[in-house]
C-alpha cells in the first residue's frame, strides 16, 4: 500500500459524456442546418459528422510528494482535409471527450471560415491545475505531449493554449517534441513566448479580431463606431483585449465582468484603469470607480454591443428574450445555445458567431506557424494589417452568404466553412 494522500489534489473520475447541454450535439445542430441549406451530399455529410481521430491516453505524473497520479488526456483531430490540424489544449476538471470533440469540430469550421490552410483539433487533460505545483504541471504537460507525439507536428497537428494553459506550457510542449525529434521544431505549437518563435500581436489578436468584426457589423447596420455602447462578459484575455481595441476606436465600454461579478458605468469605463486594477488585484471585485452588478444583470443591460467573452452556454432559451443589444459579438466559444438562436433572430439581434468573431486568435497563430517555418519574423504592423484584411474579408463573405441564402450570420458562417471543407474533400476524392 502506498502512503496516505497528504494534500488535496482534485481528481475527477473518467467521464466521457457531457452531463449538461452536450456541446457536440449543439454544434452539430447548426452543422445539420447549414448542410441542409448547402444541399450537401449524404456521403460528405456522414464524413463531416465524424472526427477523424480520437486519442485517449493515461497520463501518469509524479507528484512532488513522491506519489504517482494518473490523469486522462484527450486529443481529437476532427478534420485534416485542408491542412494540419490546429487546436488548443485545455487543462480543466470539466474536460470531457464530447467537449473536446465539439471544440475540435469548431476549430475545423473556424479555420475554414477565415480560409486558413488548417484543419481542426483540440486536446485536454482532466485535471485541476490550480491544485498543482509548477513542477507537477511541467511533468503533466511533457507526459501528455509524449503520449500524443505521433500525431503532433508542424505538418500534422499544431496545438495552442486554451483554458488554463499558457505560453509557459507551449514552451514545454515545443521542448519535449524537439527533444524527441533531436532538433528544435518551433512550428509544432503556437502561442509560444516571443523569445522562442512566438508572434508579435498574438496576445491581443482575438480581441482585435472581435473589434474588427464588430466595426463591420456596425457599418452594415449604418451605426456610427464612435460612442457605440459595449458590454463585455469576462475580462480575461479576450474580454480585456477586446475592451482595449474597442475603446481605441472610440467605443464606450459600459460594463465588464469576471467570475465574481461585474462593474458598470453608463458613461463608459476607463479601460486602462480597469486593466491596471485587474493586474494588481486579479479580480474586479474591489474596483472603486464604478457601480457593481451581477453577471446575470450585465447580460441584459441595454446596449449596442454585447460581447460574451467567458464561458459556453450563457445565452440560453431562458434569458435570450431579455437581451437588449443590437449586436452580439461572440468572443467566447459557444456562448449561445442552439435553442436561443431563433429567439435572438426573431428579436432582430445581429449575432456575429463565435467561429467568425473570435477567429483573430487562430489567424495570428497561423501567422506564427508561417513565421516559424520561414524563419523570418514580421513587425507588429504587418501582423495587424494582415489580420485586419482577413477578418474584414471573412466578415464580408459571411454577410454575403447570409443575404444570398437568407439565413442568420451563424448558419452563413457554417455554410461558408462547410462548403470550403467539402470542396477540398471533393477535389481529393474519397479513399473509401
Ligand atoms: P481567460 O481565462 O483569460 O478569461 C476568462 C474570463 O472569464 C475571466 O475574466 C473569468 O473571470 C471570466 N469568467 C469565468 N467564469 C465566469 C462566469 N461564470 N461569469 C462571468 N465571467 C466569468 O480566457 P480567454 O482566453 O479570455 O477565453 C475566453 C473565451 O474565449 C473562452 O470561451 C475561449 O475558448 C474563447 N477564445 C479564446 C481565444 C484566445 O485567444 N484566448 C481565442 C478564441 C476563443
Question: In this predicted model, what pLDDT tens digit does every residue of 374-389 receive, in sequence order?
Answer: 999 999 999 999 999 9
Altogether, the residues listed in the chain come to a count of 432
Q: For residue range 45-78, what is the model confidence (pLDDT) as tens digits?
A: 999 999 999 999 999 999 999 999 999 999 999 9
Q: Which atom of ligand 1 is nearest to the CA of 362?
A: 42
pTM of the complete model: 0.94
Range list of β-strands (E), 164-301: 229-233, 252-258, 261-264, 291-293
In angstroms, what is the span from residue 238 Cα to ligand 1's centroid?
Answer: 6
What's the mean pLDDT when you consider all of the chain? Answer: 94
pLDDT digits (tens, 9 = 90+) for 5-34: 444 555 554 444 444 567 788 788 889 999
Q: Which of 136, 162, 12 is nearest to 63 (CA)?
A: 136
Check if 219 is active-site: no
Strand order in 119-125's β-sheet? 53-62, 68-79, 119-125, 85-91, 157-161
Please state the rounded mean pLDDT for residues 221-228. 98
What radius of gyration do the chain's Cα atoms show?
Answer: 21
* Distance, CA of 326 to CA of 349 (rounded, Å): 5
Give residue for cell 465524424.
50
Q: Compute the distance from residue 428 Cα to the ligand 1 centre, in Å.
A: 37
Answer for the pair 108, 143: CB distance below 8 angstroms, yes or no: no
Give the tens place of pLDDT for each residue, 286-341: 999 999 999 999 999 999 999 999 988 899 999 999 999 999 999 998 899 889 99
User: Above pLDDT 70, what percent of the chain?
Assistant: 95
Q: What is the pLDDT of residue 1?
A: 38
Q: Which ligand 1 atom lies nearest to the CA of residue 262?
A: 20
Closest CA to 174 of 153, 205, 147: 153
pLDDT at 312: 84
Amino acid at each position: 500500500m502506498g502512503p496516505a494522500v497528504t494534500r488535496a489534489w482534485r481528481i475527477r473520475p473518467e467521464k466521457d459524456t457531457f452531463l449538461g447541454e452536450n456541446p457536440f450535439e449543439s454544434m452539430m445542430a447548426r452543422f445539420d442546418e447549414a448542410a441542409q441549406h448547402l444541399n450537401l451530399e449524404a456521403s460528405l455529410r456522414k464524413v463531416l459528422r465524424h472526427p477523424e481521430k480520437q486519442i485517449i491516453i493515461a497520463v501518469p505524473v509524479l507528484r512532488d510528494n513522491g506519489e504517482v497520479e494518473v490523469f486522462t488526456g484527450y486529443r481529437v483531430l476532427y478534420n485534416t482535409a485542408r491542412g494540419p490540424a490546429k487546436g488548443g489544449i485545455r487543462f480543466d476538471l470539466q474536460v470531457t471527450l464530447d467537449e473536446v470533440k465539439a471544440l475540435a469540430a469548431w476549430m475545423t469550421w473556424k479555420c475554414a471560415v477565415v480560409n486558413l490552410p488548417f484543419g481542426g483539433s483540440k486536446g485536454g487533460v482532466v485535471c485541476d491545475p490550480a491544485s498543482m505545483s509548477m513542477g507537477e504541471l511541467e511533468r503533466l504537460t511533457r507526459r501528455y505531449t509524449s503520449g500524443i507525439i505521433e500525431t503532433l507536428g508542424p505538418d500534422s497537428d499544431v496545438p495552442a493554449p486554451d483554458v488554463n494553459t499558457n505560453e509557459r506550457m507551449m514552451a514545454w510542449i515545443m521542448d519535449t517534441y524537439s527533444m524527441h525529434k533531436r532538433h528544435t521544431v518551433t512550428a509544432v505549437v503556437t502561442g509560444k513566448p516571443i523569445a522562442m518563435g512566438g508572434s508579435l500581436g498574438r496576445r491581443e489578436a482575438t480581441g482585435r479580431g472581435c473589434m474588427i468584426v464588430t466595426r463591420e457589423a456596425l457599418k452594415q447596420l449604418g451605426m456610427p463606431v464612435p460612442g457605440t455602447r459595449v458590454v463585455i462578459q469576462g475580462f480575461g484575455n479576450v474580454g480585456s483585449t477586446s475592451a482595449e481595441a474597442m475603446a481605441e476606436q472610440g467605443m464606450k465600454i459600459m460594463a465588464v465582468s469576471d467570475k465574481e461579478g461585474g462593474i458598470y458605468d453608463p458613461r463608459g469605463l476607463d479601460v486602462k484603469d480597469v486593466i491596471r486594477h485587474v493586474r494588481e488585484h486579479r479580480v474586479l471585485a474591489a474596483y472603486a470607480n464604478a457601480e457593481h452588478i451581477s453577471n446575470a444583470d450585465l447580460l441584459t443591460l441595454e446596449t449596442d454591443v454585447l460581447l460574451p467573452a467567458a464561458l459556453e452556454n450563457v445565452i440560453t432559451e431562458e434569458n435570450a428574450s431579455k437581451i437588449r443589444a443590437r449586436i452580439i459579438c461572440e468572443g467566447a466559444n459557444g456562448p449561445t445555445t442552439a435553442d436561443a438562436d431563433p429567439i435572438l433572430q426573431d428579436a432582430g439581434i445581429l449575432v456575429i458567431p463565435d467561429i467568425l468573431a473570435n477567429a483573430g486568435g487562430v489567424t495570428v497563430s497561423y501567422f506564427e506557424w508561417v513565421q516559424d517555418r520561414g524563419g523570418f519574423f514580421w513587425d507588429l504592423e504587418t501582423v495587424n494589417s494582415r489580420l485586419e484584411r482577413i477578418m474584414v474579408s471573412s466578415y464580408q463573405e459571411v454577410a454575403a452568404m447570409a443575404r444570398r441564402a437568407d439565413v442568420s450570420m451563424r448558419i452563413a458562417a457554417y455554410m461558408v466553412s462547410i462548403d470550403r471543407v467539402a470542396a477540398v474533400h471533393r477535389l481529393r476524392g474519397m479513399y473509401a
